[in-house]
């Protein structure tokens, strides 16, 4: 079983829509959690850290559910510029394990 | 701040040659650097962890004699792909941390390697 798994999508949504997707992780000893955004042929860029209490950054909301071992990302009021691949990452012992990414395409 | 550069950004080489990729932290001292590889439509896979002045720690399945890592200073780590073959063609990305917060890794822009 992969350490981090994501629904690859793609999620095709119209501008202004809300889109949400999850990521599951297998190791309960995982210590910290992140969402990254990766554009085609580019490096990943940190979108936000994910905390148990949930956190919000503008139109983006992330949640962590330790009991069920998943994290989620919700994007409200989608913009064309949100089109990208979203990678979840899990930190254990200072090493990051990444999921394969969820592709989101926002259409006009 | 927290800028990481990689050089070259892309390289095409013949099978059997060696390729060196540099990763530099431009505005901070990177006590730890990480090397990842990403094949198309797959996740970033950690290859090795490199601490300044010591030998790199390789992940299971990564050949240390094929992927030579040197972290000679707090701002530079190099990855050399020795005797490259077409199956080594991939996107190689480094990241760095300052050690003050291992949670945050700053990624370089990546190097796209194509082996003919």
Using DSSP bridges, classify how beta strands B10-13 and B111-115 pair: parallel, antiparallel or unpaired.
parallel
Instruction: Quote the pLDDT of residue B99.
Output: 67
Beta strand segments in chain B, E: 4-7, 10-13, 19-25, 32-38, 45-51, 57-58, 67-73, 76-81, 90-97, 106-107, 111-115
pLDDT tens-place values along chain B, 116 residues long: 689 999 999 999 999 999 999 999 998 888 899 999 999 888 999 999 998 888 899 999 999 999 999 988 889 999 999 999 999 999 999 999 876 555 678 999 999 999 99
Chain B contact set for A51 (CB, 8 A): none
A11-53: per-residue pLDDT in tens? 999 999 999 999 999 999 888 999 999 999 899 999 999 988 8
Q: Taking a C-beta distance cutoff of 8 angstroms, is the pair B4, B96 a contact? A: yes
Chain A contact set for B110 (CB, 8 A): 41-43
A82-99: per-residue pLDDT in tens? 999 999 999 988 889 999
Q: Do A42 and B110 touch (CB under 8 A)?
A: yes
B90 in contact with A at a CB cutoff of 8 Å? Answer: no
> Residue A1: is its pLDDT beyond 80?
no
Instruction: Quote the pLDDT of residue B48.
Output: 96
Phi, psi dihedrals of residue A60, rounded to the nearest 5° = -105, 130
Does residue A10 have a cis bond before it (omega within 30 degrees)?
Answer: yes
> Mutate which of A30, A37, A42, A43 to disrupt the B interface (most B C-beta within 10 Å)?
A43
B107 in contact with A at a CB cutoff of 8 Å? Answer: yes
Measure A83 CA to nearest chain B CA, in Å: 16
């Amino acid at each position: 079983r992969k350490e981090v798994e994501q629904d690859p999508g793609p999620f095709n949504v119209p501008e202004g829509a809300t889109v949400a997707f999850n990521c599951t992780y297998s190791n309960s000893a995982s210590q910290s959690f992140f969402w990254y955004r990766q554009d085609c042929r580019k490096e990943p860029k940190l979108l936000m850290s994910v905390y148990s209490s949930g956190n919000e950054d503008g139109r983006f909301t992330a949640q962590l559910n330790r009991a069920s071992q998943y994290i989620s990302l919700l994007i409200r009021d989608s913009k064309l510029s949100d089109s990208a691949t979203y990678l979840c990452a899990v930190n254990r012992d200072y090493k990051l394990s990444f999921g394969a990414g969820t592709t989101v395409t926002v259409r006009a | 701040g927290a800028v990481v550069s990689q050089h070259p950004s892309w390289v095409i080489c013949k099978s059997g040659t060696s390729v060196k990729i540099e990763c530099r932290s431009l505005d901070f001292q990177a006590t730890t650097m990480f090397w990842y590889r990403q094949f198309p439509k797959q996740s970033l896979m950690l290859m090795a962890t490199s601490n300044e002045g010591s030998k790199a720690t390789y992940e299971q399945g990564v050949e240390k004699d094929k992927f030579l890592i040197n972290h000679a200073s707090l701002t530079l780590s190099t990855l050399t792909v020795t005797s490259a073959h077409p199956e080594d063609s991939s996107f190689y990305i480094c990241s760095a941390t300052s050690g003050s917060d291992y949670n945050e890794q700053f990624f370089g822009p990546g190097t796209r390697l194509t082996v003919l």
